[in-house]
Amino acid sequence: MTATRHHLSHLYGFYTVAKHHSFTRAAEELCVTQSAVSYQIKKLESLLNVQLLDRRCRNTVRLTSTGEILAAKCQSIFSELDHLFESLSGKNVGGSFTIAAPTCFGSVFMPKVAARVKSTHPDLKLKLALEDKLVDIVSNNIDVAIRVNTLVEGLQYKPLMKVRMQLVASPEYQAQHGIVGEGSDLANHQIIMGQMDDSDWASLLSQNPELAIAADEVTYINNTLAILEAARAGLGIGYLPYYLVADDLAQGSLATVLPEIHSSITYFVCYDKSLEMEQKLKVLLEAISSTLHQSVYVEAFEWLAATPEAPPIESVG
How is 129-167 classified by DSSP, letter by letter?
Answer: EE-SS---TTTTT-SEEEEES---TTSEEEEEEEEEEEE
Average pLDDT over residues 37-41: 90
Domain 96-156+272-287 identical in fold to domain 162-264:
yes
Three-class SS state of 273: coil
Contact 168, 190 (CB under 8 A): no
Average pLDDT over residues 283-288: 91
| 138 vs 315, more confident | 138
Average pLDDT over residues 132-155: 82
Average pLDDT over residues 78-94: 65
Q: Can you count the helices (H) and strands (E) in the chain?
A: 11, 10
Q: How far apart (Å, rounded) are the C-alpha atoms in residues 179 and 143?
A: 45
| Residue 315: band (very low, low, confident or very high) from pLDDT cuts 50, 70, 90 | very low
Cα-trace Rg, the chain: 30
Parse the chain into domains and list their residue ranges.
2-88, 96-156+272-287, 162-264
Among candidate residues 81, 102, 103, the one with its CA nearest the CA of residue 92: 81
What is the model's pLDDT at position 90?
53
Among candidate residues 113, 107, 140, the one with its CA nearest the CA of residue 272: 140
This prediction's pTM: 0.66
Among candidate residues 21, 28, 33, the one with its CA nearest the CA of residue 61: 21
DSSP state string for 74-143: HHHHHHHHHHHHHHHTTS---EEEEEEE-HHHHHHTHHHHHHHHHHH-TTEEEEEEE-SS---TTTTT-S
| Residue 262: band (very low, low, confident or very high) from pLDDT cuts 50, 70, 90 | confident
Amino acid at 100: A
Among candidate residues 7, 40, 9, the one with its CA nearest the CA of residue 23: 40
Amino acid at 184: S
Query: Would you identify the CATH topology of the domain 162-264?
Result: D-Maltodextrin-Binding Protein; domain 2 (3.40.190)
What is the model's pLDDT at position 256?
96
Beta-bridge mates of residue 53: 63
Note the CATH number of domain 2-88.
1.10.10.10
Which class in CATH covers the domain with range 96-156+272-287? alpha beta
| Residue 84: band (very low, low, confident or very high) from pLDDT cuts 50, 70, 90 | low
For the four alpha carbons of 90, 94, 97 and 103, in that order, the dihedral sign comes to positive
What is the model's pLDDT at position 248?
97
What is the model's pLDDT at position 175?
96
Q: How far apart (Å, rounded) are the C-alpha atoms in residues 163 and 304?
A: 10
pLDDT at 308 over 50: no
| Percent of the chain at pLDDT exceeding 70 | 87
What is the model's pLDDT at position 9?
74
| Residue 54: band (very low, low, confident or very high) from pLDDT cuts 50, 70, 90 | confident
Buried b / exposed e over 246-278, threshold 16 CB at 10 Å, is bebeeeeebbebbeebebbbebbbbbeeeeebe
pLDDT at 287 over 70: yes
